[in-house]
Each structure stands twice: as structure tokens, then as C-alpha cells.
Amino acid sequence: MSDGSLSQDEIDALLQGSGGIDLGEPEEPAAAQPQRSAAGPNLGVFTEFLREVSESQASNLTSLVGSNVRLGEPAIEIISNGTFVKSLPLEVVQIVQNFAGGAAGSHSYLFAPDIATAIAGMMMGQEEVELNEAALTALSEAGNTLAGATASALSERIGAAVSAEPGETRTKAAGDVEVPDGRFVKVTYSVSMEGKESAELVELFDMAILNQFGQAAQTPAVDESADSLFAGGGDLDDSLFGGTLAQPHGGMSGGRANPNVQSVQFPALSGGAAATDQGNISLLMDVYMEMTVELGRTRRLIRDILGMGEGTILELDKLAGEPVDILVNQKLIAKGEVVVIDENFGVRVTEIVDPMERVSEM
């Protein structure tokens, strides 16, 4: 029995790389080890989503400020907390509008003070304004409009209800800006307004919101460069809200497995389907719906609304004697005339909106 020491011949064999000595079972090749997925959120889908939303947001801003506003192509970056805060100017205006529901997460808008005062001034009908409470209230209204539109688009995209929580608008020092922990999504838009210098609007999304936009294709092999999708490294640029643009990870097609494609099997159509639908509507007959009679509408500047008091008269867009609108869940279904029933107001229906028009409105 060996005493555990090696003979000279065995030492020579080891030095020469000989396989003559049994060193036990060979180690399992690295390729057989569990493989790490390179999956990540689909930035392409998210970019297309923001591109579609920005078109409607430009229209919303145009309505708010009363002047043509254009938003440039969204530039998406994945950036870290510390890197972003260090790149901010000394002072910014932040509108915090977090999302709740199917895409819950932190969300906010950032303006440089000059563009913030320009937007607030145009909303209030004034040339020069200070960033006081009235101006911040106007910016809050703009934030509510923008975030509400984004939440609606998110709801439609992911198939789950998303709402924008009540926001807070404040002028903050760079170190006090609220940002999500760790890495998050920064979207930069160029803003062009008639008679104003071009500026930037920055929108921040929690990574949890980005994760709602699917998964990128997975690679079967471990690829350390896959983490570059979330890399915030590199030198800071000199832009107002600096950061490092995240580049999509390429070269995945080589190792992608062929998908298992199958034909969709549809059930046979039968003539009884329509009858079934007609029968099911009876289940809704006892459901209450909100019905509203609308005398008219008007639009006023925030300055005028804040100045309202007892005795203020508002001129509506309806002429005296015109029919009033009858709405169900804010959808026009009929028109009528106001009557008095005992001591209560009522409305007599004089016109029913065409059924096809009602369906298209619903």
C-alpha cells in the first residue's frame, strides 16, 4: 500500500503531462454547466410605444400652451441613480407622477427652469412668470395631462388598468431629485415651441415599467456582453441631463433556437352564435349606468379659474334654447330640453343619436 508519497517516475510523468496516473473522474465541461439567460426587456417595443405616445403628447401640450409644440424622437437610456444625479444642473423642476395598477412604478418629468417658466407662462397667458405656487400649479396640470395619456396608452398596451397617481410639482436642487433606486429608464425629448428656444423634456421610468414590454430573445450560451444592455458606464457627456445611451445587444441570431410554429385551430362557426349573444345581454339589464345632462361647456385659463369668486358668470358654448346633451358614461346618446317636474329639474328627450353612431362612440 502506498504511503501517499509520489515516486520519481510519477513526478516525471506529471511534469510531462502524461495521462498515466489516474486522477479521478474528469470535470464536467463548462458548456454543460447551467447557462445564464441573456433575456431582458424589449427596448425596441418600448421605443415604438414612446414614439406613438409622443405624437399625442405634443398635441396635448399644444392645447395647454395655446401654441404649436413639437416633440423630437425619444432617446432612451438606462442609467444609474448616482450617475444621473451628478449630471443634473443645480436646479430643476420635477413633476412626480407615479403609476399604479398593471404597470406600477416610479415615474416623473424633469424640466430645466427656463423651459418650465416658459410653459407655465403660456398656460397662464403671461409673458414673464416666476416659479411660484401659481406657476407650479399650472405645471402640475400639464403633468397630469401628460401622465394620464401615458397611463391610458400603457393600459391598452399591456391589457391591464394603469392609472397616474396624484402628482407633486416642486423646484428641487439636483441632490433632492426623486429617482428610483438602482438603474432606471431616462427618456429625453427635444421640445420646440413657436417663438421659444428649443429645450429638453426628460421623463423617468422605473425599470418595473420597462419590464412590462416583453423579453428580448434568449441566447443558449453564456455571453458576458449581454449585460451591456444595462450598462451605464462610459464618460459623461456635457448635455444638460447627461447619461450614457444603452445600446441594444446584437448578434443573437446565431444561437437562436427555431421556434415551434403551429397552425391556429379555430372552432367551427355556427348560426347559433348571434342568438347566444342576444341572450347574454339580458344579464346586463339590471346594471346601473351614470346618466348626465350637460348644459354646455367652456374653457378658461388657470389664471381666470383661480380668480373666480361668488357672482362670477361663465359663458357656455351653447345658445339659449338649444337642446342639452344627454350622456351615458360620458358618451352622447340623445338630446333634450329642460323641464321642471314638481320642484326638480328634468329633461324631455327630443332626439336620439343614431344607434350606429352610438356604438362607434362606445
235-263 per-position pLDDT tens digit = 434 445 544 444 444 444 444 455 556 66
pLDDT at 82: 75
Compute the distance between CA of residue 276 and CA of residue 201 in angstroms, rounded to an integer: 52
149 within a domain of the structure (yes/no): yes
The domain spanning residue 141 has which CATH number? 3.40.1550.10
pLDDT the model gives residue 26:
46
pLDDT at 175: 84
User: Are residue 303 and residue 232 in the same domain, yes or no?
Assistant: no
The answer to whether position 27 is within a domain reads no
Question: Per the domain annotation, does 57 fall within a domain?
Answer: yes
Domain match, 167 and 300 both: no
Residues 299 and 211 in one domain: no
Give me the mean pLDDT over the 97-104 stretch.
91
Interval 106-116 mean pLDDT: 90
In a domain, 189, yes or no: yes
212 in the same domain as 96: yes
Whole-angstrom distance, CA of residue 358 vs CA of residue 271: 26
Is 196 found in the same domain as 324? no
For the chain, how far is it from start to end, CA to CA, in angstroms?
A: 91
Residue 142 lies in a domain: yes
- Residue 129, pLDDT > 50, answer yes
295 and 245 both lie in a single domain: no
- pTM surpassing 0.85? no
Predicted confidence (pLDDT) at residue 218 exceeds the cutoff of 50:
no
pLDDT over threshold 60, residue 272: no
DSSP letter string, 239-276: STT---PPPPP---GGGPPPP------PPPP-TTHHHH
- Based on the domain organization, do 181 and 79 belong to the same domain? yes
Q: Does 215 share its domain with 318? A: no
Q: Which residue has the cell 344627454?
A: 326
Local confidence band at 361 (pLDDT 50, 70, 90 cut-offs): low
Number of domains in the chain: 2
294 and 214 in a common domain: no
Contact by Cβ (8 Å): 176, 100: no
Residue 319 exposed, middle or buried by CB count within 10 Å (0-12, 13-18, 19+): exposed
More confidently predicted of 238 and 358: 358
User: Where is average pLDDT lowest: 28-32, 199-203, 333-337?
Assistant: 28-32
Q: Residue 36's pLDDT is what?
A: 36
Do 241 and 98 share a structural domain?
Answer: yes
Residue 73 falls inside a structural domain: yes
The mean of the pLDDT values for the chain is 75
In-domain check, residue 240: yes
The runs of H, that is alpha helices, within the chain are 8-15, 43-65, 81-87, 113-124, 133-158, 207-210, 273-280, 302-306, 355-361
**In this model, does residue 271 exceed pLDDT 80?**
no
Residue 347 lies in a domain: yes
- Is there a single domain that holds both residue 215 and residue 352? no
Please report, for the domain that includes residue 329, its CATH number.
Answer: 2.30.330.10
Domain of 93 in residue numbering reads as: 43-221+228-249
For position 314, what pLDDT does the model report?
86
103-112, 199-208, 303-312: least confident range: 303-312
CA angle, residues 196, 241, 59, in degrees to nearest 5: 45
Q: Are residues 237 and 292 in the same domain?
A: no
> 70: closest CA among 61, 60, 58?
58
